[in-house]
Structure formats: structure tokens, C-alpha cells
Amino acid sequence: MKIAIDTDKCIAAGACVMEAIEVFDQRDEDGVVILLDENPSEDQHDNVRRAAHACPAKAITLQE
Ligand code: SF4
């Protein structure tokens, strides 16, 4: 799995961090998403899929 984020679309909702805290973080200054791991290990894949689904801005794209 490869993850891409679009920080221009991100509205700093934080849903991705709630679902996959090991893969996503948010910038302190404005809450915009930070991708911690663009190739997460297998055990993170379900969390990442939930995060992409939960993102209200559709800012997370997955390549499986
Ligand atoms: S869930 Fe989407 S909009 Fe919210 S912080 Fe994550 S990437 Fe940004």
C-alpha cells in the first residue's frame, strides 16, 4: 500500500489521526495532516483504509 495526501484539500479535521495514529499526525500550527509513513506495514492497512474513508475532505489517496 502506498499513501498520498493532498495538504491543499486537508481541512484539519483530524479523523485520519483518530483512525491511524502511527501513520498520520497533524501540524501543531494549523492542524494540517502530516504523513508519517507512506508505505505502512500490513498491520496498519485496515486502519489506513478507515482513515481514508473517514476523511471528510477526501485528502487521502491509497494505492493498493
Ligand atoms: S482526516 Fe482528512 S481533512 Fe482531516 S486531518 Fe486527516 S487528511 Fe486532513
Provide the CATH number for the domain around residue 25.
3.30.70.20
Number of structural domains the chain divides into: 1
pTM exceeds 0.75, yes or no: yes
Range of the domain at 51: 2-63
Q: Is the CB of 57 under 6 A from ligand 1?
A: yes
| Cell digits of residue 17 | 489521526
| pLDDT one-digit tens code per residue, 2-44 | 999 999 999 999 999 999 999 999 999 999 999 999 999 999 9
| Ligand 1 nearest atom to the CA of residue 11, by list position | 3
Closest CA to 17 of 52, 46, 41: 52
Name, in order, each residue with C-beta under 8 angstroms of 2's C-beta and a sequence gap of 6 or more: 38, 39, 62, 63
* 4 CA to centre of ligand 1 in angstroms: 12
Which stretch of DSSP H or E encloses residue 3?
strand 2-5
